[in-house]
Amino acid sequence: MKTIKFLLFGLLIISSLSITAQDNTFEVEVTGEGEPILLFPGFACTGEVWEATVAELSKDYQCHVFTFAGFGDVPAIEKPWLPKIKEGVVNYISEKELDNAVLVGHSLGGALALWMVADGNSYKELIIVDALPSTGALMMPDFKSEYMVYDSPYNKQLLAMNDTDFEAMVQQMANSMTKEQSNQERIKDWMIQADRETYVYGYTDLLKLDLREDLANINTPVTILAATEPYGLEMAKSTYDQQYKALTEYTIEFANGSSHFIMYDQPQWFIENLKNALND
């Protein structure tokens, strides 16, 4: 009887701990019990970006938190990076029988989730955090997907950039993505830690991705949590209206005054609206 009690106690301890699994395209940490939620971070970020989110959601859900290849401590993979990431995540969902999971994606992670759902895969719900179906079209008025190639002068410049200049560049980027300096430093450090070729070629993959017309294929419920900065609420509304016009139905909430990392700039607003989306 004592042996059985010790075994049961051991199983309870194991079930309460985080479990980390490794695939060649990502590392995933599983925390909590309940319905599955997959959380995809933004470009160059690690799964740590979801730390506060998981602390709340893991009370009621099983959270699968991803860090993609080439970021954090996860070894890099050969290009094309983003298609391989997508294939790896879809395989993971199939192997773990998570077909009815909720997908939550920030920035790149949101674009990845949109791509998975637009391809016809069926999930319970999709929650997009400040992400667009075509990042390239936002940045380039005459954007065409075929313009995005690995062998470009800009990519060569980034690959050849010395560490000091690269740090100065990503520091400026991080400063525009969130308000508090400590969070800016965290984002900057993730960018510096990233494998340089993944940073360069992976971002090319993201810019090349254009899902605007493919949104018409999506039947999964979609909620978008969007930032308004740096250009204000009206510009943000216009951008989202244009980019998501092929999506038949979705709910969108704007975090007024927040920069790109809403979970950092407005953590209480973010958790409340995330939970509202899950409950709806």
Name which residue leads in pLDDT, 92 or 11: 92
Is the Cβ–Cβ distance between 23 and 88 less than 8 Å? yes
Write down the residue that tokens 């506060």 correspond to.
52
Q: Please check whether residue 25 lies inside any domain of the structure.
A: yes
Q: Please check whether residue 207 lies inside any domain of the structure.
A: yes
Average of pLDDT values for 129-137? 97
Q: Please check whether residue 6 lies inside any domain of the structure.
A: no
Q: Please check whether residue 116 lies inside any domain of the structure.
A: yes
Q: Please check whether residue 1 lies inside any domain of the structure.
A: no
Q: Is 196 helix (H, G, I), strand (E, B) or coil?
A: helix
The pLDDT value given to residue 199: 98
- Listed in sequence order, the DSSP H helices in the chain are 2-16, 51-57, 81-95, 108-118, 135-139, 153-160, 163-175, 181-193, 196-208, 233-243, 262-265, 267-279
Give the separation between CA 65 and CA 71, rounded to whole angstroms. 14
Q: Is 27 helix (H, G, I), strand (E, B) or coil?
A: strand
Domain that holds residue 163: 19-279
pLDDT band at 141 (very low <50, low <70, confident <90, very high): confident
The pLDDT value given to residue 280: 82
Q: Please check whether residue 3 lies inside any domain of the structure.
A: no
pLDDT band at 239 (very low <50, low <70, confident <90, very high): very high
When divided into structural domains, the chain yields a total of 1
Q: What is the CATH number of the domain that holds 50?
A: 3.40.50.1820
Q: Please check whether residue 96 lies inside any domain of the structure.
A: yes
The pLDDT value given to residue 16: 38
- Indicate the range of 17-26, 56-65, 130-139, 184-193 predicted with least confidence: 17-26
- Indicate the range of 69-83, 110-124, 229-243 predicted with least confidence: 110-124
In tens, the pLDDT along 59-109 reads: 999 999 999 999 999 999 999 999 999 999 999 999 999 989 999 999 999
Residue 196 CA, chain-centre distance (Å), reads: 19
Q: Please check whether residue 90 lies inside any domain of the structure.
A: yes
Is the Cβ–Cβ distance between 197 and 204 less than 8 Å? no
